[in-house]
Chains A and B, each alone.
Chain A
Amino acid sequence: MTHLQESLLIAVRDGAVDPPTEALARAHLATCPSCAGDLAALEKRGSDVAAALETLDGFFDAASARASVRVRVARAAADAVGSLALEADGRLASGKLSVRSVSRRFRARWIRAAGAVLFLAAASAAAALPGSPLRRWAGDLIEGVTPGPAAVERPSPAAASPEETTGVRIGVSEGPLQVLLRGVPADGEVEVRWVSGTEAAVFGPLGSRFTSARGRIEAILTPGRVRVELPRSVVPTSLVVDGRIYLSRTPEGLTVPGPAIREDESGIVFRGGDR
């Protein structure tokens, strides 16, 4: 009688053989004390090896690893979006990144889930293309971001001209919406525009930092022009600049306690903080 080889016995032990082979092996094992003994020894060896390997294990902090991975995924997304914006603006001549290739590489749902805080290099360039798939895709990507434990900060691109802006855009289908700005100088201006649709956005000079969560954008701005886009249809909406309520829109109407310079149908321009 041919005995079972160790390689087959170990596969039987590990449940790694197909059913017909297993049936044959079991039939043999039932009648062969030698092979049955070998299998028992392999089972013992398996638990000994498992125990030996466990002595190597230490504690690893999964929560901080998760936060770190989240930030890196968000950064990868920000890089992709930044590249797209630059490309749209004609600054990236290579044309290697297309909307399609980037959206293939980066699944929007993972990136949203990662709490991506996106810094759109040359976002104004992208935003200037209202009908483009780029803008639509970027909007999709950022919609509904939730913050990770660690906010992402990205240094501004080195070769930036003062004209360039950076920003963040979120989707808000219903209120409340809160926009909090910090670092607006007294001689600076904050331009608020009422927009149709369900997206809110803040744009500021390069070097500004943004975080966003559902229904909330926070920006720490470097000196320069600031533009805020607020959807007309979303209430309640509030804009707070350096701790002061500048405007609030509720179902009852709009109140503007902030230092408005101009106001018309399309929006309001404010002075910066009095500090």
Chain B
Amino acid sequence: MGSHHDDHVEFDTTFDEIYPALVRYCHRLTGDRDVAEDAAQEAMVRLFTHEVEGPIPALRAWAFKTATHLVRDRYRVEENRRRLLQVHPVHPGQGEGPERRVERRESEERARAALAELAPRDREMLLMRYEGFSYREIADAVDVAATSVGTLLARAERRFQEVFTGVERTA
């Protein structure tokens, strides 16, 4: 009977170890709460109903890869960019009110705009990196050679920072 209790605990702990970061990643990736929750939960359902074996880090990588593909399938590149910009239009310097709130709101808009500026794969790689995945796991999730992750990440991060800080270069 004890094993059933363990199973129950295992479901909960597995879920809790993976989902919060997964939904955060999907939200960063899409800029849309509903889409983020849909994709993250669908990936979790697949994790539990498909035969996915292994320690937590492997399950976690599997869930992120699956969610990445779900988001990709649902949103084609141009549509995604357009939508991201609509959801979070960039109005630098707009608004009054409490200074900190405005600052944070502006920062959020600039971060959203900077992500929207990246190609989908670069965006996925950058966001996975900031969820702590190894270059090998990132390579597997977005289907690039592990040896090119450093180059691609460097480019994505540089571009993000340029747009975010407003220090634009001619691309």
Contacts and interface: CB of A to CB of B under 8 A. Distances in A.
Contacts of A3: none
B127 A53 contact: yes
B141 to A, nearest CB: 15
A56 B51 contact: no
Most buried by A among B48, B115, B154: B48
B82 interface: no
B40 A65 contact: yes
Interface of B is mostly: helix
Contacts of B15: 62, 66, 69
Contact of A45 (B8, B28, B134, B157): B157
A67 to B, nearest CB: 10
Interface of A is mostly: helix
Nearest to A114: B11
Chain A interface: which size bin?
A: 35 or more
B12 interface: yes
B51 A65 contact: no
A112 B33 CA distance: 30
A51 to B, nearest CB: 8
Given A52-B107, A62-B20, A114-B11, A10 B150 contact: yes
Given A16-B135, A53-B28, A115-B8, A72 B19 contact: no
A60 B8 contact: no
Contacts of B19: 62, 65-66, 69
17 contacts: A14-B129, A14-B153, A45-B157, A48-B164, A53-B111, A56-B31, A65-B23, A68-B41, A70-B11, A73-B48, A105-B49, A106-B49, A107-B48, A110-B49, A143-B4, A173-B1, A214-B4
Given A76-B49, A105-B50, 19 more contacts: A50-B130, A52-B111, A55-B111, A57-B27, A57-B28, A58-B27, A60-B27, A65-B23, A66-B12, A66-B16, A69-B15, A69-B19, A70-B11, A109-B10, A113-B7, A114-B48, A143-B4, A145-B4, A146-B8
